[in-house]
Amino acid sequence: MTAFTLMGVVNVTPDSFSDGGRFLDHDRAIAHGRALAAEGAAILDVGGESTRPGAAPVGAEEEERRVIPVIEALAADRGAAVSVDTMKLGVARRALESGATYVNDVTAFRHEPGIAALVAEHGARCCLMHMLGEPRTMQDDPRYDDVVADVKAFLEERLAFAVAQGVPEDRIDLDPGIGFGKTLAHNLELLRRLPELAAIGRPLVIGVSRKSFLGRITGREAPAEREVATAAANVLAFERGATIFRVHDVAASRDALAVAAATLAADGP
Q: Which residues bind ligand HH2 (CB under 6 A)?
A: 9, 11, 13, 16-18, 47, 50-52, 85, 104, 106, 127, 129, 175, 177-178, 205, 207, 246
In the complex, minimum distance from the CB of residue 71 to ligand HH2, in angstroms, rounded to a whole number? 15
For residue 55, the minimal CB distance to ligand HH2 (Å) is: 6
Nearer to ligand HH2, 86 or 98 (CB): 86
34 is catalytic: no
What are the residues whose beta carbons fall under 8 Å from the beta carbon of 31, sequence distance 6 or more? none
Residues listed for the chain: 269
Alpha-carbon gap, residue 186 to 192, rounded angstroms: 10
Q: Which position among 66, 152, 202, 211 bears the catalytic label?
A: 211
Min separation Cβ 138 and ligand HH2, Å: 11
Selected catalytic residue, list 34, 94, 152, 246:
246
Q: What's the closest the beta carbon of residue 266 comes to ligand HH2, in angstroms?
A: 30
DSSP string, 134-197: -TTTTTSS---SSHHHHHHHHHHHHHHHHHHTT--GGGEEEE--TTSS--HHHHHHHHHTHHHH
Amino acid letter, 154: F
> By the 8 A CB rule, do 173 and 125 touch?
yes
- Closest to ligand HH2 by CB, 202 or 246: 246
Nearest residue to ligand HH2, by Cβ distance, number only: 207
Instruction: Please identify, using beta-carbon distances, which residue of 104 and 234 lies nearer to ligand HH2.
Output: 104
211 classed as catalytic = yes
Q: How far is the CB of 203 from ligand HH2 (least distance, A)?
A: 12
Decide: 83 and 91 in contact? Cβ < 8 Å.
no
Nearer to ligand HH2, 96 or 131 (CB): 131
Residues with Cβ within 8 Å of 154's Cβ and at least 6 positions away in sequence, in order, are: 108, 130
113 or 264, CB closer to ligand HH2?
113
For 214, the enclosing helix (H) or strand (E) is: helix 212-218
Torsion 112-114-130-19 (CA) sign = negative
Nearer to ligand HH2, 14 or 265 (CB): 14
> CB 91 → ligand HH2: shortest distance, Å?
14
State the number of CA atoms in the 13 A half-sphere of 162 facing the CB: 33
Cα–Cα distance between 36 and 17 in angstroms, integer? 19
Give the active site residues. 211, 246
